[in-house]
Amino acid sequence: MDQTYMKTKKVLPLVMSMAVPMVVSMLINALYNIVDSFFIARISEDAMTAISLVFPLHNAAGAVSIGFGVGANAVTAFFLGERNQESADGAASLSLLLSMIHSVILMIIILTLMEPFLRSFTDSRSVLDYGIQYGSIVFGCLFLGQIGLIYEKLFQAIGSVRITMFSMIAGCVTNIILDPVMIFGLGPCPAMGIQGAAVATVIGQAVTLACYLAAWAKGLLYLQLSPAKGWRYRKLAGRLYSIGVPAILNQALPSLLITILNSILAAFSQTDVLILGVYYKLQTFIYLTANGIVQGIRPLIAYNYGAGMLRRVREIFRTALGAALLVMSVGTVLCLLIPQNLIGMFSPNTDTIIAGVLALRIICIGFMVSAVSVVVCGTMEGLGFGGMSFIISLMRYVAVILPLAWFLSRLLGVVGVWHSFWIAEFVTAAVSMVLYYCVLGRISMGSEEK
């Protein structure tokens, strides 16, 4: 497969050709998150609260697969940029082998810790039962999502974003269709409640993985995958993990953030915990779209860096930042104009809607500036500086927002937690730009422009 277009095609059309399919995929995925939560909320507020409490575990599992996939994506694309097909095949094969191992370990750990984790946040028997019923099914079939995600990153590495778009859409649409059927019982399917939502999720993941495997079987991956070959290239594990581990931590930090914020908010009321869960469902529609842009540029950054074209790397970064700013501005406008409609999708309770509207209007102040840290993180990962990306995420999800949330909650009450979001985004954006220029200056000194 000829991939030289990655370094010859004009940057704006190139970024759009890579990013738009991923943005579409992410929008469909975000729509699934919204629809899934909408139907679960129809069961009861306890069911929705349970999903909010399970979310950090689900996010942590996804963090491992997505984060390690980022390493696989960047390393594979770098070797392709160097025109080193043998090493690209070896890195991809090793990534697949290690992902299989990760999925088994994670399944055992999460299923063991799930009940005590949920008990630490709620005394409600109903909430606990809902959480265990949902989590046992989803985490028991963790393998499907983990392997599907590594295939996603490998297809992205070679520039086949249309295949990833089709596969992700197929899984999400399947899930969306099955949700009401399995939750409420339509036709011959019995009403399964929250367990139906979990089964629909698993089937959707299976459909996505089946699409990837079908494309691979037809020879559309253009990478030779073999666990045996991957083991022979185990020397590349250090390189994969040097990017993958910081990326895993980047992805896992939101789980830590939500877990600690749940603890802070639980001291006020379960309603505030619910509002945080609803916010994270809603913000996926915006941030997953921005993340689609980042996923589109990451292999472009890695490929052009491997080819020594640093001027083009800078241009790709600027183009992606402009696109992300546009996406985040749309999210800001929606949260300012129709917050009551957004919150009302998940709860009919008037008090919950009023409190949720206030939360959204405060948090969205930081949406546009957050585009800076999001795009810089993806650029650092594409360049192989996973540690720098982790520093940015650490500031965004832990070092700034958590102390602020704790302090402001005692000073202003629950509203202080919501103010901590936008303040953290402004601080992190400033640090992100400093790190970006430092890294670009460092690699420019060690490379010649082509």
pLDDT at 130: 92
**Domain containing residue 371:** 8-445
Confidence band for 2, pLDDT divided at 50, 70 and 90: low
d(C-alpha 75, C-alpha 96), whole Å: 13
User: Does position 349 have pLDDT exceeding 90, yes or no?
Assistant: no
How far does CA 413 lie from the centroid of its chain?
30
pLDDT at 1: 54
- Note whether residue 450 is domain-resident: no
Percent of the chain clearing pLDDT 90 (strictly above): 39
Confidence band for 6, pLDDT divided at 50, 70 and 90: low
User: Does position 370 have pLDDT exceeding 70, yes or no?
Assistant: yes
User: Does position 325 have pLDDT exceeding 50, yes or no?
Assistant: yes
pTM reported for the whole predicted model? 0.70
51, 88, 103, 258, 311 from 280: Cα distances, Å = 11, 36, 25, 9, 36
pLDDT digits over 382-407, tens only? Answer: 888 878 888 998 999 899 999 999 99
Q: Which of 67-81, 91-105, 326-340 has the lowest mean pLDDT?
A: 67-81
- Note whether residue 2 is domain-resident: no
**160: phi then psi, degrees, rounded to nearest 5:** -90, 65
Over residues 180-200, the mean pLDDT reads: 91
Q: Which two tokens stand for residue 102?
A: 């990760």
Over residues 415-441, the mean pLDDT reads: 94
Burial of 348: CB neighbours in 10 Å, binned 0-12, 13-18, 19+: exposed
Higher pLDDT: 416 or 77? It is: 416
d(C-alpha 144, C-alpha 413), whole Å: 42
User: Does position 180 have pLDDT exceeding 60, yes or no?
Assistant: yes
Do 380 and 435 contact (CB within 8 A), yes or no? yes
| Residue in this structure with the two tokens 């602020």, named with its chain if needed | 404
Do 335 and 364 contact (CB within 8 A), yes or no? yes
pLDDT at 104: 92
pLDDT at 449: 47
Q: Could you tell me the end-to-end alpha-carbon distance of the chain, in angstroms, rounded to an integer?
A: 23
- With a CB cutoff of 8 Å and minimum separation 6, the contacts of 232 are 90
- Note whether residue 3 is domain-resident: no
Which residue from 316, 299, 67 is spatially nearest to 161, judged by alpha carbons? Answer: 299
pLDDT digits over 123-135, tens only? Answer: 889 989 999 999 9
| Residue in this structure with the two tokens 């069961």, named with its chain if needed | 43
How many Cα atoms within 13 Å fall on the side-chain side of residue 275?
A: 29
Over residues 26-41, the mean pLDDT reads: 76
pLDDT at 450: 43
User: Does position 17 have pLDDT exceeding 90, yes or no?
Assistant: no
Confidence band for 277, pLDDT divided at 50, 70 and 90: confident
Domain count along the chain = 1
- Note whether residue 1 is domain-resident: no
User: Does position 255 have pLDDT exceeding 80, yes or no?
Assistant: no
The DSSP code sequence of 75-123 is HHHHHHHTT-HHHHHHHHHHHHHHHHHHHHHHHHHHHHHHHHHHHTT--
Which residue from 422, 384, 380 is spatially nearest to 400, judged by alpha carbons? Answer: 422
Over residues 52-80, the mean pLDDT reads: 83
User: Does position 167 have pLDDT exceeding 50, yes or no?
Assistant: yes
Over residues 175-186, the mean pLDDT reads: 91
Over residues 154-165, the mean pLDDT reads: 85
Considering the chain, what is the average pLDDT of its residues?
A: 87
Percent of the chain clearing pLDDT 70 (strictly above): 96
